[in-house]
Amino acid sequence: MRNQYSDQFKWQVVQQYLYGKVGLKETAHHFGLDYSMIRRWVEQYQQHGPSGLRQTRRHYSPAFKREVLEKRWRDGLSIRQTEILFDIRAAGAIGRWERQYHSGGLTALEPKRTGRRPMPQKPPSPPPEPPTDGERSHEELLEELAYLRAENAYLKKLDALAREKRATTRGKKPKPSKG
């Protein structure tokens, strides 16, 4: 989910809550936000300063995810406390990591590839062998015979025209070609 609030807006909300005379729910109502979101922003600001309100896009290694989960379980921290401690700004990330870890262990924490899968590589197929004369039908053999006869006649005519041209360049009277 994309973060729809700018860093400046978050800072303004946190300042209003910290230095204003109203509580968390009233501040949330004033800005039209859920109070738990403001509470998260305030805790991030108090733990990390203004940089705690900045948008980040991080990719965490499986080892880091396991370390976060073990610290949470060992110290009995809530998800929100763990997010603040490790500066994890993606809401729900730790809960998702926990479910993945319980369902598939450490390997389930590895990032999944997104997008289309690559097409499997097929080995190149050898060109089909031409069938032998015994496997071909009578019509196929007649078609090939007609093609070969036409090719032969074309080559004979081409040869005759080439001889005729050579003879004219030498000054001899050419023999008329049969057409």
Q: Please provide the DSSP assignment of 32-80 as one string.
A: T--HHHHHHHHHHHHHHGGGGGS-------HHHHHHHHHHHHHHT--HH
pLDDT of residue 129: 78
Reported pTM: 0.44
What residue type is assigned to position 150 of the chain? A
Question: Cα(14)–Cα(44) distance, rounded to whole angstroms?
Answer: 10
Q: Measured between alpha carbons, how far is residue 18 from residues 9, 52, 65, 157 in Å?
A: 14, 15, 32, 101
pLDDT of residue 172: 62
pLDDT of residue 175: 62
pLDDT in tens, the chain (179 residues): 445 777 788 878 888 888 878 887 888 888 888 888 888 888 878 877 777 777 666 778 888 888 888 888 899 988 888 887 887 777 788 888 888 888 888 777 777 777 787 778 888 888 877 777 677 888 888 899 999 999 999 999 999 999 998 888 887 665 666 65
CB 53 within 8 A of CB 14: yes
